[in-house]
Amino acid sequence: MTELLPTRATFVDGAAVRIEVRGDRAAGELTVWRLGDLVSRAPYDGAEEVDLGALPAGGYGVELAQGGTVTRTAVEVGDGRRMRYGFVVDYAPDRDVAGVADLARRLHLTDIQFYDWAYRHASLLGGGEEYRDALDQPVALATVRELVTALRAAGARSLGYAAVYAVGPAEWQDWEHRALVTAGGAPYALGDFLFIVDPAAEDWLASFGDQLRAAVEHVGFDGFHLDQYGYPKRAARADGVVVDVAESFVTLLAVLRERLPDARLVFNNVNDFPTWRTARSPQDAVYIEPWAPTLTLGGLAEVVTRARSVSEGKPVVMAAYQHVYDSAPVRASDLATAFTMAALHSHGATQLLAGEADRILVDPYYVRNHVVEPSTADLLRRWYDFLVEHDELLLDPSIVDVTASIAGAYNDDCDVTFAVPVTEAATPGAVWRRITESRGRTVVHLINLVGQDDTLWDAPRREPGHTGGGTLRVRRLGTAVPRVRVADPDGGARLVDVEVTVDGDYATAQLPAVGVWQVVLVEPRGKDLA
């Protein structure tokens, strides 16, 4: 077996792009592709590492052909704004950190959340160099620093977890005067474990900001994951002041940006609260943790669409935990994850899911994670490679949804037909079709819900039903024949051309059957008949 592993999760524009070759290093041919077009071709002589040189900004597929075997990876060259999020939870003394860095490189993870690294929620560094965290997990700051160093070398940023308003019992007497309280006078809390204060109270915010700065100085974090619990929305403070918590979050983010001008800041909008207020705040991503009532693939898509509409170009990340692995067979769970990723990626968002060396998230307490089976590891590698290789078709902030403007009989500009129903909404038994445009290109997303009884994203999925081949029909632009290319993360991962036939003012192309998700790229100005 051969594995191609980029030396970095992402490469800075102008830097040399290097690929490590592991396993079988038999001679062969190395090719680099951008949106299905060949960029370079070179013989491979068995070297442990190959230098692709500097590549222009964008996403690329890299293939190594050895005999009849082709091994793939992807690389991103850019400005560091994208966010493909992972996690780490183990800070035991002397743990091996190499696997974490490898996963960041393998899945191109730009940022890693250091979940529950701190001594206490209101005393981040109060435990010295070694301690047990609030839930009795061992932490050695030397290990935390080793992880930060290894991830930085792998091109990934390290974000320390910090709850923005949580105080444990040991520190409560110092902060109960800032408590947010229920109508009965009891403090709002997370169980009996953490109590909630007004995150914008001046004394709390001063202390919290000081602790984050100290964590940067003493641990080396590149930024912070700023957590909340989704409640309360409005509450009285212990001193009688009525607090609009959404506004407190906005104040908190503004103050933290001033205190930490160079830090990567990511705030958790639990169940979309209050994305409409925080998305424009001075942070680096719009991060949402969905719970009921966001239970369907269509519901996820709607949340992402709303977030992108107010994000001002920031990346959108969904913390969609796949609890399904705890109760369903691995194949049915892998399909649930594939459908979740298809819904998110086709709507311009990424998913916080993978972390450590071989884990995925199945619970909001990240320590209760799931060790992946080989099939899941292969799925993640394929789909994350696909995401990176086709980044500009999926995550570019300029992408807009034009389905309602160009599809359907009234518009008659671009649409697809199959022997099964095609719908603009996520509907069981149909192909879910979405059409986007950006930079003069049209992209048709096809998600195959044939054979499914429902569209729950965190539930076992059946094998995708057979769609048969499809027909794409596009109104021509002048005398040009559109160029049409197709890719599928589980099939032909690289975009390949399909034959286009001219029929008067229209052009048609025959599409292959859809697996879980198929991406169709249409370039109106393909070649000219004149």
Residues 6+ apart with CB under 8 A from 291: 230, 270, 271
Distance CA 16, CA 13 (A): 9
Q: Among 111, 60, 148, 57, which residue's Cα sits nearest to residue 315?
A: 111
* pLDDT given for residue 528 in this prediction: 58
pTM across the whole model: 0.96
Q: Among 458, 451, 520, 516, which residue's Cα sits nearest to residue 489?
A: 516
* Residue 498 counted as domain residue: yes
**Residues constituting the chain:** 530
Q: Which domain holds residue 502?
A: 400-528
* Residue 188 counted as domain residue: no
* pLDDT given for residue 25 in this prediction: 95
Give the domain-ending residue among 32, 48, 78: 78
* Residue 522 counted as domain residue: yes
The per-residue pLDDT of the chain, averaged, comes to: 96
Distance CA 167, CA 175 (A): 8
Residues 6+ apart with CB under 8 A from 128: none
Q: Which residue has the tokens 């199959």?
A: 418
Which residues in the chain come in under a pLDDT of 50? 530
Four-point Cα dihedral 39, 441, 488, 48, nearest 10: 20
* Residue 351 counted as domain residue: no
Question: Cβ atoms within 10 A of the Cβ of 437, count?
Answer: 17
* Residue 192 counted as domain residue: no
* pLDDT given for residue 530 in this prediction: 46
The CATH number assigned to the domain holding 34 equals 2.60.40.10
Task: Provide the domain count of the chain.
Answer: 2
* Residue 29 counted as domain residue: yes
Q: Report phi then psi at 90, rounded to 5.
A: -105, 115
* Residue 180 counted as domain residue: no
Report whether 443 contacts 519 (CB < 8 A). yes
* pLDDT given for residue 527 in this prediction: 65
Give the domain-ending residue among 78, 113, 134: 78
- For residue 446, what are its two tokens? 């096809």
Q: Among 495, 493, 491, 517, which residue's Cα sits nearest to residue 4?
A: 493
What SS3 state is found at 142? helix
The CATH number assigned to the domain holding 524 equals 2.60.40.1180
Distance CA 173, CA 92 (A): 30
- At 396-427, the pLDDT tens digits run 999 999 999 999 999 999 999 999 999 999 99
* pLDDT given for residue 437 in this prediction: 97
Distance CA 327, CA 336 (A): 12
Report whether 455 contacts 449 (CB < 8 A). yes
Q: Among 214, 174, 215, 213, which residue's Cα sits nearest to residue 197?
A: 174
Give the domain-ending residue among 54, 78, 102: 78
Beta strand pairing call for 441-448 and 517-528: antiparallel
* pLDDT given for residue 525 in this prediction: 78
* Residue 46 counted as domain residue: yes
* pLDDT given for residue 192 in this prediction: 84
Q: Report phi then psi at 158, rounded to 5.
A: -110, 120
